[in-house]
Amino acid sequence: MFKKSMLAQARLHELVPGGAHTYARGSDQFPEDMAPILRRGRGARVEDLDGNWLIEYGMGLRAITLGHGYQPVVDAVCAAAADGVNFSRPSVWELDAAEDFLDQVPGADMVKFAKNGSDVTTAAIKLARAATGRDLVAICGTQPFFSVDDWFIASTQMKAGIPSPYESMTVKFSYNDLPSVHALFDRYPGRIAAVILEAATATAEPAPGFLEGLRSLTERHGAILIFDEMITGMRWSRHGAQSVYRVTPDMSTWGKAIGNGFSISALAGKRELMDLGGLNTDESRVFLLSTTHGAETTGLAAYLAVSKTYAERDVVAEMEIQGMKLRRGLEQAAEEAGMSEHVVILGRPSCLVYGTKDHNGNPSQAFRTLLIQELLRRGVLGQSLVISAAHTDADIEQTIQAAAGALQVYARAVEAGTTDGFLDGRPVAPAMREFAEPRRLRPAFVTTMRGSS
């Protein structure tokens, strides 16, 4: 089914560390011999090198809300590119995008654009440290990812190559656990520069008073509150999760959906913080964001076209409607297969995920891999169930039918008490891990072509 993809994947492993440019896209995140290499996308479907058309979920690592090849965005990008993509002075695109973005995020006074989410989260941390004169950063330790940069990666299992002092400069609290934040401020009085978290995730909504408590705590202790809106921005609301939960951070970081897959990210915040990286400060200037490609025109044009679409259509509502249809159909399929206790659908309708449990009711990577395998065999690329506004009723119905078939196999594995004989190869591995899997992910992996906030 994926012969050409497997050949291409083997070549990628020879040329690219990890065989992909994002760990969550790695072949170790898919069943063995079933890691499609994609050629193109249209709407909510993608075609691989073998000519298989698959319904895709979590498109572009949740960056795509309008669908692949969405024409108004493509047209805007092409038109901008035709007039030049990079200049020696600011372009009018920077002014237009900044005005539009600050209308979209009412709590922010200034914005700086970049290309990757890590660019802007790290910039936010730098501003917070400069503004407070402190060095410690408090991160939500129950959320998966904030940056590729040292201040965050030092706190993960993959910290090889990072000087050890960075590890002591990042401290952790738990989501919806305000006492754990209190404890950090008590343990490190006058040392915490910033508290950073996602206001909500696919599987966790803020408990009553949690975000408000963070706002109060940071103000009381003179720390900066940062919301990571990479996923929630333009998926929870056009105005971000901060508008849904009515708590305004000092700074917020954006990416993914704001460009519908084109490379653009944004740091937005209060003027007194943002201006530390500008020309109008009496303080020591912060080297904030100064990049060759941060304001190239195609990314800004993509954002403006996306923003225009959101102003004309209620894209978030469209995703929520389709997500609810998907959830109902999948839950019915799980019930009919007797698997409601083993495959559970979680999250906001615009950002659904699933949990998989084994015959004993324990979370299981092997059973997760089995479900991904069986969905792929039935034409669904489903590491998650994160929907877009491009998913049609036909896409959803086909997904439900594919899941019904996959769940029959899953049920037989649960009855047998093992995935042996059902799963072809090894289970998927956590994307963020210290060591490679034995042998299969080492050089033999290349020759045998084997292999996620």
Backbone phi, then psi, for 345, in 5-degree steps?
A: -100, 130
On the question of pLDDT at 41 being above 50, the answer is yes
Question: Which of the following CATH numbers is that of domain 3-64+315-448: 3.40.50.2000, 3.30.540.10, 3.90.1150.10, 3.40.50.1970?
Answer: 3.90.1150.10
On the question of pLDDT at 190 being above 80, the answer is yes
Of the candidate ranges 77-91, 158-172, 182-196, the one whose mean pLDDT is the lowest: 158-172
Q: What is the mean pLDDT of residues 323-339?
A: 98
Q: What is the mean pLDDT of residues 77-94?
A: 97
Q: How confident is the model at residue 437 (pLDDT cuts 50, 70, 90)?
A: low
Residue 360 CA: distances (Å) to CA of 341, 413, 415, 417, 418: 10, 12, 10, 8, 10
Q: How confident is the model over 396-431, as pLDDT tens digits?
A: 999 999 999 999 999 999 999 999 999 999 999 887
Confidence (pLDDT) at 432: 76
- Nearest in space to 451 (alpha carbons), one of 9, 4, 3: 9
Confidence (pLDDT) at 52: 97
3-state helix, strand, coil in the chain (%, to 5): 45, 15, 40
- The percent of residues in the chain predicted with pLDDT above 70, rounded, is 96
Greater confidence (343 vs 433) lies with 343
Q: How confident is the model over 222-232, as pLDDT tens digits?
A: 999 999 999 99
Q: Are 398 and 325 within 8 A, CB to CB?
A: no
Q: What is the mean pLDDT of residues 323-337?
A: 98
Q: What residue ranges of the chain are covered by domains with CATH 3.90.1150.10?
A: 3-64+315-448
On the question of pLDDT at 441 being above 60, the answer is no
Q: How many CB atoms lie within 10 A of CB 22?
A: 12
Q: How confident is the model over 138-174, as pLDDT tens digits?
A: 999 999 999 999 899 999 988 899 999 999 999 999 9
Q: What is the pTM of this model?
A: 0.93
Q: What is the mean pLDDT of residues 433-453?
A: 43
- Nearest in space to 346 (alpha carbons), one of 338, 360, 358, 357: 357
How far is residue 51's CA from residue 46's CA, in Å, rounded to a whole number?
A: 9
Confidence (pLDDT) at 239: 97
Q: How many CB atoms lie within 10 A of CB 80?
A: 21
Q: How confident is the model over 9-27, as pLDDT tens digits?
A: 999 999 999 999 988 999 9
What is the CATH number that goes with domain 71-312? Answer: 3.40.640.10
Give the chain's mean pLDDT: 94
Q: How confident is the model over 169-182, as pLDDT tens digits?
A: 999 999 999 999 99
303 alpha-carbon distance from chain centroid: 17
Q: How confident is the model at residue 281 (pLDDT cuts 50, 70, 90)?
A: confident
Backbone phi, then psi, for 61, in 5-degree steps?
A: 55, 45
Q: What residue ranges of the chain are covered by domains with CATH 3.40.640.10?
A: 71-312
Q: How confident is the model over 289-327, as pLDDT tens digits?
A: 999 999 999 999 999 999 999 999 999 999 999 999 999
On the question of pLDDT at 450 being above 50, the answer is no
How far is residue 108's CA from residue 106's CA, in Å, rounded to a whole number?
A: 5
Confidence (pLDDT) at 106: 86
